[in-house]
Amino acid sequence: MIALDTNVLVRYLVEDDAAQTEAARGLMAGLTAERPGFICREVTVELVWVLERSYRFSRERIAEVLEELIACVELEVEAADDVARAAFHYRSGGPGFSDLMIAAAANRNGAHPLYTFDRRAAQMERVELVG
């Protein structure tokens, strides 16, 4: 297994730099189910941030990208169940993807409630506003 950084996925998805896009495509084409590419949670969070902020992808399109990555047998997405649930909720608005992933990590580890100053995040189950 190899690991993939956010910038490789961005070049592969956005195709905004010809040389890097070609290199990313070649790398991705060499992945197999037996030798997959690993995408850690931090990369998924950063990928969403970059696609949202720098490339103005809609929440719907970003959720589709995440679902496609999870479904790809040549990729292993860390905490794929958390990413899938977060993508589902992210698509419909409300808290940001990173907030959804933070809440998922807290839930997975039995840390309840999650305290925050973020009013949008505090609307989630098992999340409470400080103060």
The model's pLDDT over 77-122, given as tens digits with 9 standing for 90+, comes to 999 999 999 999 999 988 999 999 999 999 999 999 999 999 999 9
Looking at residue 94, its pLDDT comes to 86
Question: Which of 52, 79, 82 lies closest to 65, judged by CA?
Answer: 52
Q: Which helix (H) or strand (E) holds 106?
A: helix 97-108
Domain boundaries, the chain: 2-94
Q: What is the pLDDT of residue 131?
A: 86
Rounded to the nearest integer, the mean pLDDT of the chain is 97
Please tell me the distance from the alpha carbon of residue 115 to that of residue 33, in angstroms, as a whole number. 39
> Where residue 24 falls among pLDDT bands split at 50, 70, 90?
very high
Give the pLDDT mean for 17-22.
98
CB within 8 Å of 7: residues ≥ 6 apart: 20
The share of the chain scoring above pLDDT 90, in percent, equals: 97
Q: Token match 């197999």: residue?
A: 32
Tokens read off for 35: 């030798």
Residue 125 has pLDDT above 90, yes or no: yes
**pLDDT at residue 127 is higher than 90:** yes
pLDDT of residue 41: 97
CA distance readout (Å), 101 to 11, 36, 42, 71, 79: 23, 23, 10, 19, 9
Both structure tokens of 105:
């990590």
The pLDDT score that the predictor gives to residue 15 is: 96
Percent of the chain past pLDDT 70, that is, above it, reads 100
